[in-house]
Amino acid sequence: MDDSSRGALTAAGLSCGSCGTELSEKAKFCNECGAPVTQVGRSAEYKQVTVLFADVVHSMNIAATVGAERLREIMADLADRCAAVVQRYGGTVDKFTGDGIMAVFGAPVALEDHAVRACLAASGVQEEAKRLAVAVRERDGVDLQLRVGLNSGEVIAGEIGSGPFGYTAVGEQVGMAQRMESVAPPGAVMLSESTARLVEGAATLGEAERVRIKRHRSTSLRPAAAGRARGASRCRAC
């Protein structure tokens, strides 16, 4: 996938409804396409998306070893690297979870290839984490590893409440993405069957693995590999 086919990152704040460019709070026109801000639609709507969850393995153990201030430095560096990768592939960083991130591909701006973009981003996030891990190991003597999970499906995306909570996606598919992350091996990416179907032919996937997900019947997952959306595992919900 070349750079011309990649969308721009839209943060969890105000973005242009025409092109997805992030806007300042007081903007009246989009500084990229010129569309009036009055055309920006932020009401809740159904969207077909792929949700990415990335989480640091044994973050509490790392915190106990390096201390709160150093942990904050490590997490800030990791969050910046992950956000840059998400931006590169047209995703939206939904939230920072303290020891990881949630990102959405396909909202607020629809993306036909949201699953492929998310798969590429997942591989990129793992690559960045491994680069950072080298420095962290040399300085702090601890192992920094991520688990990443992906799931695709329909969510409701929009502003939450009337306060400063921002734009987010909610629904069962978001929870499934988080469960994919929870069963991923350290340093790997786990895809649900719904995501695996969408990236078939564009990604090299591992053999399906059957696992039991809380509140679901047994689920079969697929791992993915590095590079061209390769090296993830996939899971299949039964």
pLDDT tens per residue across span 61-82: 999 999 999 999 999 999 999 9
Strand 218-224 to 232-237 pairing:
antiparallel
SS3 at position 5: helix
Q: How far apart are CA 44 and CA 108, in angstroms?
A: 10
Q: Write phi, then psi, for 211 (nearest 5 degrees).
A: -130, 165
Domain span at residue 153 reads 3-237
Q: In sequence order, what are the residues at sequence separation of 6 or more whose Cβ sits closer than 8 angstroms to the Cβ of residue 10?
A: 20, 21, 22, 92, 108, 109
CATH code (residue 181): 3.30.70.1230
SS3 at position 155: strand
- The count of structural domains within the chain is 1
CA quadruple 169, 175, 177, 182: dihedral positive or negative? positive
31: left (phi over 0), alpha (psi -120 to 50) or beta: alpha
CA quadruple 205, 3, 124, 99: dihedral positive or negative? negative
Strand 167-170 to 100-105 pairing:
unpaired
CB 104 within 8 A of CB 171: no
CB 189 within 8 A of CB 122: yes
The string of pLDDT tens digits covering residues 99-142 is 999 999 999 999 999 999 999 999 999 999 999 999 999 999 99
CB-neighbour burial class of residue 95 (10 A; exposed 0-12, middle 13-18, buried 19+):
middle
Q: What is the pLDDT along the chain (238 residues), one digit of tens a residue?
A: 443 333 333 333 466 655 666 767 667 677 777 766 543 445 788 999 999 999 999 999 999 999 999 999 999 999 999 999 999 999 999 999 889 999 999 999 999 999 999 999 999 999 999 999 999 999 999 999 999 999 999 999 988 765 556 788 999 999 999 999 999 999 999 999 999 999 988 888 888 888 777 655 445 455 554 333 333 444 433 2
- pTM to 2 decimal places: 0.74
